[in-house]
Copies of this chain bind each other. A is one copy, B any other.
């Protein structure tokens, strides 16, 4: 399911590269990439419904609920591009829909499919939701301060595209002087220069956007750990999940 959304996501964002590899639409064309995304989504649903009843059906509905939230989040993300009054609450809600719902589903759908106890499935879903939010916050931080050789994207790519990412919205809504300067900078009616981008990044930090996002990511990661601890799983399995969470939220500047 991640692949389905990525295929469509890359087209919407016009991304030509992901994880250092050319995106599908640049290689096979937009039409084929849309179709491949549709096909993966339908195949995933069909595969789940082929499974044992009633768990296959539960897993299928878990997936479709997650995809519906993913779509709502992606739609909000697109709409935000044309708005300059996005609140931090709206932005966090969007990240919860776009990323956290998908991760919650990915982490719990296996347990649901095999009919694991509700405590375990719910614990894994909670873990995934919190890790998803921590991941989005980290990804947004890397979108400004990440090294291109790590992110596979140009330096300060999110600022360049004037994305309403979480640290940026936190800065813009901070009510601080650097926040107001950032708003003025992002309203410049032409492409920003490298110097202006560097100043933008400094303003996000000065307005508290960077520290806020880092603290939120840490808090989300801690909550993820709590969910995991309460899910009732063997210690070695728990350690593996915890390792994955740390890996995907590691900040490599």
Q: Give residues in A with beta carbon < 8 Å to B.
A: 8, 11-12, 29-32, 34-35, 37-39, 41-43, 45-46, 49, 53-54, 57, 60-61, 64-65, 67-68, 71, 74-75, 78
Please name the 8 residue pairs, one residue from A and one from B, whose CB atoms are nearest each other, closest first: A12-B31, A46-B64, A39-B71, A42-B67, A42-B64, A31-B78, A8-B34, A35-B71
> Interface majority SS on A: helix, strand, loop or mixed?
helix
A-B contact pairs, 11 of them (CB 8 A): A12-B34, A32-B78, A34-B34, A35-B74, A35-B78, A38-B38, A38-B71, A43-B64, A45-B64, A49-B64, A53-B53
B49 touches A57 (CB 8 A): yes
Cβ–Cβ < 8 Å partners of A71 in chain B:
35, 38-39, 42
B53 touches A60 (CB 8 A): no
Cβ–Cβ < 8 Å partners of A43 in chain B:
64, 68
Smallest Cβ distance from A106 to chain B, in angstroms?
16
B68 touches A35 (CB 8 A): no
Closest B residue, CB atoms, query A29: B78
Cβ–Cβ < 8 Å partners of A65 in chain B:
46
Expressed in whole angstroms, the Cα–Cα distance for A78 and B43 within the complex equals 20
A35 touches B67 (CB 8 A): no
Give the contacting residue for A8; candidates B12, B38, B57; CB below 8 A: B38
A11 touches B30 (CB 8 A): yes
A49 touches B38 (CB 8 A): no
Cβ–Cβ < 8 Å partners of A45 in chain B:
45, 60, 64
